[in-house]
Amino acid sequence: MANDVDKYLAAVPKKQRIVLEKLREAINEAAPESEETISYRIPSYKYKGSLVHFAAFKNHSSFIVVNKSILDIFKSELENFYTSGATIRFSTENPLPKSLVKKIVKKRMEQNEKYK
């Protein structure tokens, strides 16, 4: 089991790892004060509570946005992605745009500031 995000990513196939490293970079740029950790065996970010998570699976990757209202807020920008609950699925061929990831993370920070 990975005990840090670098180890987690090192175990992911190269093409998928490159996409997830870009996702990680976008999260860290949008929320530099967040805490990066492993929670639920996946990379997780905390900022005044749970912020976002991401995970690698055999045929896709997931960006877990914790609060499912995010999927409604960004519905038009998520049309090309499968969404369910508080999860956005994406692939190496169709990764999440960095600008969208940053907007989502910033909105999640606002939500946590409001409710914490």
Block residue for tokens 């508080």: 86
Residues 50 and 27: their CA atoms lie apart, in Å, by 13
Here the CATH number for the domain that contains residue 95 is 3.90.1150.200
Q: Catalogue the long-range contacts made by 68-74 (C-beta closer than 8 Å, 24 or more residues apart).
A: 69/111, 70/104, 70/107, 70/108, 73/107, 74/100, 74/103, 74/104, 74/107
| Arithmetic mean of pLDDT, 34-54 | 96
| Arithmetic mean of pLDDT, 51-58 | 97
Q: What percent of the chain has pLDDT over 70?
A: 97
How confident is the model at residue 116, as a pLDDT? Answer: 62
Which of 70, 42, 40 lies closest to 55 in space, CA to CA?
42
Q: Are 108 and 65 in contact (CB under 8 A)?
A: yes
How confident is the model at residue 48, as a pLDDT? Answer: 96
CA dihedral over 29, 104, 77, 89, signed as positive or negative: positive
| Structural domain containing residue 76 | 5-115
Structural domains counted in the chain: 1
Please list the residues that pair with 35 across neighbouring strands.
Answer: 46
